[in-house]
């Protein structure tokens, strides 16, 4: 676990020990929150696991839903969450569940838990994953570094060489290379990771086939009770790094493609990656113009009444695989970490 995540863990424990999740709730808690999830599956110990933050266990999902209900909160669909923002009344705190990308384990391991609790959920689908044309580049990077004892890459801003024999070396290399690539154009990121995958003999298409739901399964899922399908672009790009016409096509055509394949209207959209460097005011306007009822970011925070004026820039709260504890859950539900993170601001839409 990185120093950053160690600090988060310490903060969650401190909030729990001081009871701040209870006494600060009236100050920090909003009307509700939208949870972000990716993988849900049994944990497999594998040492080097740089994408662990995207993965929680079915047991932790069960604990999450049990605790939300025990607190007296409502678990609602994304449609209902938007409706409550549009008609703010004296209602109970609510939670909406969203799953990004369209992974097989969402059906294999998450859905049984969701069905047990009888709660609605939204699956944001990247059409290129269903069609096996887009790339899980973060997973390619993980698998390549796991396979290689050392490697060298040519980058526009200078070469990159690393020895990756131990898990610690692999983790350090992943974090250094990941953030170096994230700072630059996405085309360089993709080409660099393609080079790395070739060196390691990683089949990018096979990873998508292994991890992601195909169209036939999505068609069976569409319209199932409690399930909402939303759009998550054609190829999962960081939209803000691209020209406006490219971003518009990714947003508009993903909606059209899903509606064509599934025969249902797509009312909700999720920005890939979803941080300020990947989605901003331009993307918010594009999602609104495309006809989506709402669009969600990964900017952390609760929902407040004023978000009714910013339905295409909604914050979400990540269920992070590094912080699978009741203390973390209680802190997230209280809203206190986001009051501190956002420096007292209830809106973070700039």
Beta strands per DSSP E along the chain = 32-37, 39-40, 55-56, 74-76, 94-101, 121-125, 150-153, 160-163, 227-231, 268-270, 294-300, 314-318
Above 70 in pLDDT, residue 224?
yes
Residue 350, token pair as written in the block: 């700039």
**Greater pLDDT, 141 or 223:** 141
What confidence score (pLDDT) does residue 19 get? 80
- Secondary structure letter of residue 103 according to DSSP: B
DSSP for 105-118?
HIIIIIHHHHHHHT
Tokens 């929150």 belong to which residue? 33
* pLDDT tens-digit readout, 83-129: 999 987 767 999 999 999 999 999 999 999 999 999 999 999 999 99
Can you give the pTM of this predicted structure?
Answer: 0.95
DSSP for 60-99?
HHHHHHHHHHHTT-EEE-HHHHHHHHHS--S---EEEEEE
Closest CA to 231 of 278, 293, 276: 293
Please state, in angstroms and as integers, the Cα–Cα distance from residue 308 to each residue in 10, 84, 157, 295, 312, following that order.
Answer: 34, 9, 43, 12, 9
Mean of per-residue pLDDT scores for the chain: 94
Q: Is 265 exposed, middle or buried (0-12, 13-18, 19+ CB in 10 A)?
A: exposed
- The residue count of the chain comes to 350
User: Residues 198-213: what's their mean pLDDT?
Assistant: 97
Above 70 in pLDDT, residue 291?
yes
Residue 86, token pair as written in the block: 């549009």
Closest CA to 189 of 254, 233, 248, 242: 242
- Secondary structure letter of residue 142 according to DSSP: H
Strands 150-153 and 160-163: antiparallel
Residue 79, token pair as written in the block: 């449609």
Gyration radius from the chain CA atoms: 20
* pLDDT tens-digit readout, 32-54: 999 999 999 999 988 999 999 99
Closest CA to 14 of 342, 345, 344, 328: 328
């Amino acid at each position: 676990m990185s120093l950053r995540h160690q600090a988060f863990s310490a903060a969650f424990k401190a909030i729990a020990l001081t009871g701040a999740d209870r006494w600060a709730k009236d100050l920090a808690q909003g009307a509700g929150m939208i949870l972000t999830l990716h993988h849900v599956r049994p944990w497999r110990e594998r040492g080097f696991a740089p994408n662990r933050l995207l993965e929680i266990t079915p047991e932790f999902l069960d604990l999450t839903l049990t605790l939300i209900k025990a607190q007296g909160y409502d678990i609602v669909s994304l449609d209902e969450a938007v409706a409550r923002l549009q008609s703010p009344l004296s209602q109970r705190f609510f939670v909406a569940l969203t799953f990004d990308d369209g992974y097989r384990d969402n059906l294999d391991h998450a859905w049984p838990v969701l069905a047990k609790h009888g709660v609605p959920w939204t699956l944001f689908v990247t059409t290129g994953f269903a069609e096996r044309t887009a790339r899980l580049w973060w997973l390619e990077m993980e698998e390549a570094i796991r396979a290689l004892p050392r490697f060298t890459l040519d980058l526009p801003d200078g070469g990159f060489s690393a020895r990756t024999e131990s898990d610690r070396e692999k983790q350090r290399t992943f974090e250094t290379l990941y953030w170096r690539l994230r700072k630059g154009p996405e085309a360089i990121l993709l080409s660099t990771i393609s080079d790395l995958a070739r060196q390691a003999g990683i089949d990018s298409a096979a990873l998508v086939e292994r991890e992601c739901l195909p169209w036939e399964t999505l068609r069976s899922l569409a319209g199932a009770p409690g399930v909402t399908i939303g759009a998550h672009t054609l190829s999962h790009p960081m939209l803000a790094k691209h020209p406006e016409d490219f971003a518009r096509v990714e947003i508009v055509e993903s909606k059209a493609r899903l509606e064509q394949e599934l025969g249902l209207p797509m009312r909700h959209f999720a920005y890939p990656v979803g941080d300020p460097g990947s989605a901003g005011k331009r993307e918010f306007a594009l999602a609104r113009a495309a006809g989506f009822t709402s669009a969600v970011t990964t900017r952390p925070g609760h929902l407040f009444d004023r978000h009714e004026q910013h339905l295409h820039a909604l914050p979400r709260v990540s269920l992070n695989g590094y912080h699978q504890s009741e203390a973390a859950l209680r802190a997230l539900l209280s809203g206190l970490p986001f009051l501190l993170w956002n420096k007292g601001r209830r809106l973070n839409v700039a």
